[in-house]
Chain A
Amino acid sequence: MLEIKNLHASIDNKEILRGINLTIKPGEIHAIMGPNGSGKSTLASVLTGREGYQITQGSILFEDQDLLALAPEARAQAGIFLAFQYPVEIPGVSNIYLLKAALNAVRKARGLSELDAMDFLALVKEKLNLVEMDQDFLYRAVNEGFSGGEKKRNEVLQMAVLEPKLAILDETDSGLDIDALKIVSNGVNALRSPEHSMIVITHYQRLLNYIVPDYVHVLSQGRIIKSGGRELAQELETHGYNWITEQQTSAINQAK
């Protein structure tokens, strides 16, 4: 489904990603962990097409399409979704208008007709229940005045409505208390299926107790320095990131 090969990316000529290789198959959940500044959010931005990044080497294939050639909206229409680390407040645009415009855009790209008002509302209500949000949220401006937890739940609501093939959760756990974390995780888990894949970017192991990954990758200084199963997250929690970066350093020294 997703194939990242030797990806190098820079901001203002400063190299952030230095050769990422990652393959994700349908239905898989990959967790990407790593210390601050390791390049986790940059990877999410590059995958979704945010401006300001130069791709200096490498390629990204999504369902055999050259993802880097697509505009952000075309990537979303192709089935990629980013749950933002910092969801943007948009005064004057209601949640429901955004949901409808986004769903219709995505459906149109998939060759489906627009949902009529009744079906749309029924779908949205069902998804609202999933993230335990009140209907009032639909008629409020996107994220405006929302608490941190409400913003994250709103991201998961959008994800649930759009049903992306590949969802990227960028530190969706940050700033959540344990109750909100459970609600958000339930919402995410409801989307798990053999067709839907996910990249879960997180700093902490905590989220992975609820969204259990198939694979865990550790990102450091723009490279994946270690990959493993879900138990790798547990080891990281116990030993800290230094444990791996030191292993890495000694390995490099031995090689020399």
Chain B
Amino acid sequence: MNTAPEQAIKHYLNEYDRVAKQLAGHELPWLQQTKKETLAAFTAQGFPTTRHEDWKYTNIAPITKLNFQIAQPKLNGALTNTAITRFLPAELPHYRLVFVDGYFVAELSNINNLTPGATIINLAQALTDNNTIVNNYLNKLAAPNAHAFKQLNTLFMQDGAVIHLAANTQLRQPIYLLFINTEQQSNQMNSIRNLLIAEENSQATIIENYVYLTPNNYFNNPLTEIFLNKQANISHYKLQQESKQAFHIGTVDVQQQEHSQFTSYSFALGGALVRSDTHVDLAAEQAACTLNGLYFASGQQHIDHHTNINHSKPHGTSKEYYKGVLTDRARAVFNGKVWVAPGALKTNAQQTNKNLLLSSEAEIDTKPQLEIYADDVQCTHGAAVGQLDEDALFYLRARGINDAQARSMLIYAFIQELFVQIPLLPLRQQLQNSLSNFLPAQLVLGEQL
């Protein structure tokens, strides 16, 4: 008898047989080798269950019981630049790559006037060209024991952004990566792979935005690999605004060299079942990372964030600040792992996770996980779970502000510090607008509360 997970493994092996020859780069021997190894590992390992410590609070059965398929590489053609305007930040000049149902669409993209020293290309094209960037860096951060969804991404990678910043390149505009699901077919899986290499002393801001046109139960399984060379400075935004019926399991893998700075902002607003992993390896001395995150879940949404920071070398700094708001019967998980290697002296790691529960049926599982094998380090962590302050709510209502608006003000007051940290004002405004749809009442958020 086939159990459901075994059935799922079988399905994806069949699906791989079906589409392997359609995927870009299938003729490249080195990629074939990578996929062969991944396929063997996936077949042997299978999908995680709640018996795995890393998946204890997130049951992926709703994903494995559906047979997701990669969309055909043809456009539905209906999308125009006007149609996607609402997904773009107003008044923020940017370089843009747009992907529809997992495939790059040149007509919707724009990388004119690209700063010299920067290369931006879509993955399918880079693989077709056997570009040395992908040859040198693709999948190099994959751990042998990577979970099944990362393996699936490697097997099915359709397209994505490949960005290379030569030494000393400072990008004038952020790179905006827009991923749109259009419901081209039901049970659609999108397997996006992004790759960013920031050479010495380069600087850029990357924004990934995951959106949809029609609510559907599609499955996004993206993976982004980021390499920061010495003194590189990268800001990375991930805006997850999937359909409330969709599944999203995403990974960001980062490796940092000396004196590099990586800043991440993760905003998780959509999705029925969401898992977001961020893994940062501070692989050289004096590397620093900041991971900020916000999740806002309602209905029966389940949003799981796993962060994993490896302090491999001395004098590394990591700061983590995640906040969550949960209402109805929503559930969230925050698991923050910080690993300090033997000899990683003078490590400074701070982690904070704060949650606001708006209903008695909402649930948060928050878990700091510090493993420290070095002396002379500073590691702190704190987790908090609270409710809306009823006295404050009455105070606002006693001033004439209606209940929904008063609640919205207090909820926004709880999370606004995450917005205030966003240096790009138009992007901040776009995010505030997205978020305001989730509040009980519309707020005027152009100004600070």
**Chain A interface (Cβ within 8 Å of chain B)?**
48-51, 71-73, 75-77, 81-82, 84, 87-94, 97-98, 101-102, 105-106, 109, 142, 158, 162
Contact = CB atoms under 8 A, between A and B. Distances in A.
Interface residues of B, number: 26
Interface stretch (B112-120, B158-166, B393-401): B393-401
A216 B340 CA distance: 70
Contacts, number: 88
A94 B443 CA distance: 14
B168 interface: no
* Residue with the greatest number of chain B CB neighbours at <10 A, chosen from A48, A82, A90: A90
A210 B390 CA distance: 34
A102 B395 contact: no
* Residue with the greatest number of chain B CB neighbours at <10 A, chosen from A72, A75, A97: A72
Interface string B35-50: 0000000000000000
B245 interface: no
B54 interface: no
B392 interface: yes
A71 B397 contact: yes
B410 A97 contact: no
A88 B401 contact: no
Nearest to B406: A73
11 contacts: A49-B397, A49-B398, A50-B394, A73-B397, A76-B397, A84-B398, A90-B396, A90-B410, A92-B449, A101-B396, A105-B402
Given A97-B409, A97-B447, A97-B449, A90 B392 contact: yes
B401 A101 contact: yes
Interface in B375-403: 389-392, 394-403
B405 interface: yes
Contacts of B405: 101, 105
Interface stretch (B57-65, B233-241, B411-419): B411-419
* Residue with the greatest number of chain A CB neighbours at <10 A, chosen from B389, B394, B405, B412: B394
Contacts of A158: 399
Given A51-B394, A94-B449, A105 B400 contact: yes
Interface of B: 389-392, 394-403, 405-406, 409-410, 412-414, 416-417, 447-449
Contacts of A162: 399-400
Nearest to A109: B400
Contact of A93 (B390, B397, B398, B413): B413
B421 to A, nearest CB: 14
Contacts of B410: 90, 92-93
B155 to A, nearest CB: 45
A94 B416 CA distance: 12
A221 B414 CA distance: 41
A98 B394 contact: no
Closest 6 CB pairs of A and B: A92-B413, A76-B400, A102-B399, A105-B400, A72-B397, A88-B395
A87 B398 CA distance: 11
B280 to A, nearest CB: 29
B400 to A, nearest CB: 4
Contacts of A50: 394, 398
A69 B151 CA distance: 61
Contacts of B400: 73, 76-77, 102, 105-106, 109, 162
A73 B406 CA distance: 10
Given A92-B412, A101-B401, A87 B395 contact: yes
Given A92-B412, A97-B409, 5 more contacts: A73-B400, A81-B398, A94-B448, A101-B405, A102-B400
